[in-house]
Amino acid sequence: MIMKLNALQAGFNLDHIVLESPYPNNLARFYKEIIMMEFVKKNKNEFICEGKNRKIILKKGKKNTFSYAGFSCRSKKNLDQFKNFILSNNVKLSEFENNHFKRGSFSIIDPDENIISFGIRKKNKNLYKYNLCMPLQHLTLSSKNVEKFQSFYCDLLGFKITDKVVHKNGSLATCFLTSNHEHHTIACFKSDKVGIDHHSYEVGKWENIKILCDHFSKKNVKIIWGPGRHGPGNNLFIFIEDLDKNWLEFSAELEIIHDRKFKEWPHSEKTLNLWGRGILRS
């Protein structure tokens, strides 16, 4: 019998995100200095920026453009059984090869033509000195059709829906899904723009948000949204922009999910920020 595991059962973490930029070398410097990526290496046309449990790859291209992302799981066995699951749902594998994973990774193309890879993290021998723990945690995309996004990621890949934000007419404004115990590892906002909305690092506790705010202040990087608390996920957050105006979130106290049913939230400012100003995307 062929063993199958959906994305949640296989247990995936967001491993890396690849962004395009007209000036990837300048952006790499920003990630090194401001996001404390201690190791930056150039490999062909890519700048690979790495900190402990966080990796952002920058390559030459169009500003604010999502290239691809990778989700990793712990074992080859889980990865292979997840592959069985998606193949049994007739999800097509892409020919794209992601060389930021060990051999045996595979990629899919979602309904908005985003490339998402699944694989096993390559071991690296870097010794990280910076001790604030802030792993790359979630990727939020934007789409004209969140319903399609939701059914692809939930029904075909087996991510679990944890919360939905719903317009007055019943259509979806946002969907949050997870592939592990954290509230969401991927989400999608309805928008006229298709691509990336933001990516997020989880810093664990409130105290670390304060440390980061002071760090950004020293570097003259403004907080563009927050501190606040999201409704879905109940996490504390701040947002900054990088040099290309990509949005970066730093989150703390993100809800841990113990098998609860998803909740529906109204599309309102308060859902996006229980404490104050919300930025509605649609």
Q: Compute the least distance from the CB of residue 163 to Fe ion, in Å.
A: 12
Nearest to 198 by CA among 105, 97, 69: 69
Tell me whether residue 61 or residue 204 sits nearer to Fe ion (CB atom). 204
Ramachandran angles phi, psi of 75, nearest 5°: -130, 155
Residue 112's CB is within 10 A of a number of other CB atoms, namely 17
- Our CB check for Fe ion shows the closer of 103 and 275 to be 275
With CA atoms as reference, report the closest residue to 100 among 152, 49, 166.
Answer: 49
Site for Fe ion in 132-191 (CB under 5 A): 140
Name which of 76, 185, 204 is nearest 137 in CA terms.
185
Of the candidates 15, 182, 202, 249, which one interacts with Fe ion according to CB under 5 A?
249
Q: With contacts defined by CB under 5 A, name the span among 66-74, 174-182, 192-200, 214-222 that binds Fe ion.
A: 192-200
Residues 6+ apart with CB under 8 A from 251: 137, 200, 201, 202, 203, 233, 235, 236, 237
Question: Backbone phi, then psi, for 148, in 5-degree steps?
Answer: -65, -45
**How many positions of this chain bind Fe ion (CB under 5 A)?**
3
Give whichever of 98 and 150 is closer to Fe ion, judged by the CB atom: 150
Minimal distance, residue 134 CB to Fe ion, in Å: 14
Among 200, 208, 271, 273, binds Fe ion (CB under 5 A): 200
> CB under 5 A: which stretch of 111-119, 211-219, 246-254, 263-271 binds Fe ion?
246-254
Which residues, at least 6 apart from 221, have a Cβ–Cβ distance to it below 8 Å?
Answer: 34, 240
Is residue 126 classed exposed, middle or buried when 0-12, 13-18 and 19+ CB atoms within 10 A define those classes? exposed
The smaller minimum CB distance to Fe ion, of residues 73 and 238, is found at 238
* Interface segment toward Fe ion; rule CB under 5 A; list 13-21, 105-113, 147-155, 197-205: 197-205
Is residue 6 close enough to count as binding Fe ion by CB under 5 A? no
Q: Of the two residues 117 and 200, which places its CB atom closer to Fe ion in the complex?
A: 200
**Which of 140, 179 has the CB closer to Fe ion?**
140
Q: Which of 100, 104, 106 is CA-nearest to residue 122?
A: 100
Applying CB under 5 A, which residues contact Fe ion?
A: 140, 200, 249
